[in-house]
Structure 1
């Protein structure tokens, strides 16, 4: 009997060749059928890059001071030799490795004589967006390798639709880079169901995450222990994996910090000493032990929360390790007094794996769930990215105009009467304008009655201003920047010294404490300067 498409030769039947599959793939299996087509990976990469670049352009608000003060401000000083370094750099608590990435961008712009302020602001964020896109694709590839294209598709959807990922992934935060490196490392991690290859890739990426932010060790402890327990060649893994990668990355970090600190500094020991042994991070606020469970994780997950809980029960057993990592990380951070949403950002991609499996499991109501996630996350992402806490960035654009004062005018000077580090600094002005802000370094001597400059000011704003400038009015700044809640309290000082409102910028619909709804800029009358 002659072979036919319905009756192929036995050797071809064993290969299960698609050449003899007469049926057209069903709609539900379309993604799986097309996964092997040429250009699928390139198309996914281009789509992800486009989404993250759009993401970058639609995040125009501030989140926390560290996105400027622990990266861009340091990089600006490294390249242009002026700026301000916070107390952490004086105490050697931070590694220069992360700022060095942006310093390289700044140096390239400087050599090309294209170091205009807009490029200094946006290029680092574009770099971070591209790195986030690579991490998104790697997360998709990991789930595809562990399960199938259909599951990977839903995990990818959840990752791109997450409002908190949208809010954070293009910001120049060490937490963002920690998340990127962790996700990349997981794509090479020897999970059950993945190819067992060299461990150097994931170990190097995990070590870099630790160098940039020592708290990455919290997430990686259970993963490293699990790998060591499962590995048959334990001595090989230890001697040719853990030890050389650890020593190599730590040595590189030591050399880089030696160059920029001018002395040998082990920043990771200083970091642990400050944040864990002395627990001085609580100077910037503390929360109850359950905060991550009752507020932190639910807020970070947002509308994905019910799908995460459902996915924890539906995901295959091989993903239990990821769940252990999430619970372990949240538990460890819960034991520390100072808590922030961004600290648990690195476990969010792991949570999206469970959310994706929830959607993959759903049959009825999937379209409703997808629409719900898209709409709710989009509203949160657009509001937090375009509206909430934007005044402290908008005001820097106004202050940049002071750099072009005419030679006949007295050089402008700015006093920022705001909670310390509320705004970026020279990285968003890029001119040696005289700037001053209220400082708030913690007390490293252990005094119980310690008050920083910001606390002293806010305890009695009017008295502080009178004491600071009454003896020498020539020290009065040409411009004063502050939140609207302060206006009534210092208005007598402003009126008596000839200050008039120059500009107003909306900041937030949710003013709280020292943070007002608007940012005001007051300018001193030219005749009184």
Structure 2
């Protein structure tokens, strides 16, 4: 696969080859052979693995993978659906959902907009982009060091459990990571072939349009380039400034068309998350959480190799360690913390893990076997088992769309946005769920609809469903609510219609199973 200057395998400087070493195992030997077999082999392996990855991830992670992407795209193309408060407040940019809207539009024009295509094709597209990022990470490591080191960097990348868990999801964090990795492949490093300033800056700009936080890990790299550049003023005025102005102008025009008014989403995002710290409404953690839990968890079995690689990597790699520590430190200053926020620094971590394997020599076989086995278990468990009930129940509700959705209605009594919406139904089935927009007025006594419901479920049901005509035909909830709802369900003729396993680790309002209760009209009072 060819790419721009310094970015692809075809442009890599020839280096002295090293003696072949015994392969660490049957699986990793095949992978090593594919990576060493040229660009076609690398692309084939990456695409095959990520498509398999896509098929073996059947669970949900966070609501944003639907509500910041697919639900918005579905509403744009098919003209029905629901937008969360973030979109009405102009907090999100339109580029990311427009990417999936283009996929939906093509399916619609081809009359292939079946619900399974709407669910799987966006994920396949994300998987292919992640495969491209895998190949580009190899290209960068090869340009920076040599093919042997690049091979182990990408071995670590491909067997990372958290990358497996996230890289095919339609999350802004996933697209941010993909674009940042592509940008990295063009980044100019001292002592290697020059990269392409315009290409890497354009990709960084796209990442920032998807998610403004993409600028955080790139700030040290851009300052590092500026410090090394002899013509600093030229770099600022003829590269950084034009790219920044074009990006901001493009964002303003695109969001003007999307929202119907002038909106600076980057400022709104900064104001909400940093200046007002309103994201803490959705949970807060201590300042050290990313250091004590976040980074160790997403690294998982790679953690000892990352630490070893930090000490054994060449000094010029110190800038990448600065990127990791800087990003974790900046995020640590915010109250609201999530594992996925650190996903974009994971490819930087893999550079150090690959250096570690490169240095292990006779212990490499055992290390690679450990990484494969230790990552396989959490990858398969989180991809196939943990938190799957909220997706399985949507497949059940799809059956209510036939012969006509007007005969059914659904009430989802779960924590906010636990399930997808019309992107996983693709029919105008009346569907109501608990809402939880944050209070933007500073009212200390504010309670969202979900909090009001969980404070007194019976009272909420009496007020919101006062008569038989307002009752839905189906009620969906986690099993932890069954006792609280049992009298209401029995009084109105509801019986259990389906049960779906969700998780072995129920917590708070999230139960181990999802229940569907159906109202039998013949027995309803």
1:414 aligns with 410
- Quote the Cα distance in structure 1 between the aligned partners of 2:347 and 2:37: 25
Deviation at 1:513, TM superposition (A): 0.3
- Quote the Cα distance in structure 1 between the aligned partners of 2:327 and 2:452: 37
Which deviates more from structure 2 when the two are superposed, residues 193-202 or residues 213-222? 193-202
1:7 aligns with none
Within-5 A mapping of 1:16-415 = 26-28=19-21, 40-405=38-403, 411-415=407-411
Find the residue that maps to 2:431 and give its secondary structure.
strand
Structure 2, unpaired ranges of 5+: 1-13, 24-28
Find the residue that maps to 2:426 and give its secondary structure.
coil
Deviation at 1:342, TM superposition (A): 0.3
Instruction: Tell me if structure 2 keeps the 8 A contact 1:307–1:354.
Output: yes
2:3 aligns with none
- Quote the Cα distance in structure 2 between the aligned partners of 1:238 and 1:198: 15
Deviation at 1:220, TM superposition (A): 1.1
Does the C-alpha gap of structure 1 residues 406 and 443 become closer, same or farther in structure 2, counting only changes over 3 Å?
closer
- Quote the Cα distance in structure 2 between the aligned partners of 1:330 and 1:228: 23
2:424 aligns with 428
Deviation per residue, 1:335-364 (Å, 9 max, x gap): 100000000100001001101111110023
Instruction: Tell me if structure 1 keeps the 8 A contact 2:36–2:151.
Output: no
Instruction: Tell me if structure 2 keeps the 8 A contact 1:405–1:412.
Output: no
- Quote the Cα distance in structure 1 between the aligned partners of 2:441 and 2:135: 47
Deviation at 1:29, TM superposition (A): 9.6
- Quote the Cα distance in structure 2 between the aligned partners of 1:38 and 1:335: 42
Instruction: Tell me if structure 2 keeps the 8 A contact 1:35–1:149.
Output: no
Deviation at 1:526, TM superposition (A): 2.1
1:13 aligns with none
TM-score norm. by structure 2 comes to 0.93
Deviation at 1:176, TM superposition (A): 0.4
- Quote the Cα distance in structure 2 between the aligned partners of 1:140 and 1:312: 19
Instruction: Tell me if structure 2 keeps the 8 A contact 1:145–1:193.
Output: no
1:463 aligns with 2:459: yes
TM-score norm. by structure 1 comes to 0.92
Find the residue that maps to 1:363 and give its secondary structure.
helix
Does the C-alpha gap of structure 1 residues 488 and 146 become closer, same or farther in structure 2, counting only changes over 3 Å?
same
- Quote the Cα distance in structure 1 between the aligned partners of 2:459 and 2:434: 15
Instruction: Tell me if structure 1 keeps the 8 A contact 2:56–2:380.
Output: yes
2:487 aligns with 492
- Quote the Cα distance in structure 2 between the aligned partners of 1:35 and 1:152: 13
Deviation at 1:473, TM superposition (A): 2.2
Deviation at 1:28, TM superposition (A): 2.5
1:439 aligns with 435
2:497 aligns with 502
- Quote the Cα distance in structure 1 between the aligned partners of 2:88 and 2:419: 20
In the alignment of these two chains, the number of paired residues is 504
- Quote the Cα distance in structure 2 between the aligned partners of 1:26 and 1:328: 37
- Quote the Cα distance in structure 2 between the aligned partners of 1:326 and 1:204: 22
Instruction: Tell me if structure 1 keeps the 8 A contact 2:118–2:423.
Output: yes
Deviation per residue, 1:54-103 (Å, 9 max, x gap): 00000000000000000000000010000000000000000010001100
Does the C-alpha gap of structure 1 residues 433 and 37 become closer, same or farther in structure 2, counting only changes over 3 Å?
closer
Find the residue that maps to 2:500 and give its secondary structure.
strand
Find the residue that maps to 2:185 and give its secondary structure.
helix
1:518 aligns with 2:513: yes
- Quote the Cα distance in structure 1 between the aligned partners of 2:135 and 2:46: 7
- Quote the Cα distance in structure 2 between the aligned partners of 1:72 and 1:325: 31
- Quote the Cα distance in structure 1 between the aligned partners of 2:220 and 2:37: 37
Find the residue that maps to 1:436 and give its secondary structure.
strand
- Quote the Cα distance in structure 1 between the aligned partners of 2:34 and 2:339: 39
Does the C-alpha gap of structure 1 residues 492 and 250 become closer, same or farther in structure 2, counting only changes over 3 Å?
same
2:478 aligns with 483
Aligned residue among 463, 468, 476 for 1:473? 468
- Quote the Cα distance in structure 2 between the aligned partners of 1:146 and 1:37: 16
Instruction: Tell me if structure 2 keeps the 8 A contact 1:71–1:98.
Output: yes
Does the C-alpha gap of structure 1 residues 235 and 477 become closer, same or farther in structure 2, counting only changes over 3 Å?
same
Find the residue that maps to 1:520 and give its secondary structure.
strand
- Quote the Cα distance in structure 2 between the aligned partners of 1:198 and 1:453: 50
Instruction: Tell me if structure 2 keeps the 8 A contact 1:29–1:150.
Output: no
1:4 aligns with none
Instruction: Tell me if structure 1 keeps the 8 A contact 2:408–2:430.
Output: yes
Deviation at 1:194, TM superposition (A): 2.5
- Quote the Cα distance in structure 1 between the aligned partners of 2:242 and 2:22: 44
Find the residue that maps to 1:83 and give its secondary structure.
coil
Q: CA RMSD in A?
A: 2.0
- Quote the Cα distance in structure 1 between the aligned partners of 2:236 and 2:296: 38
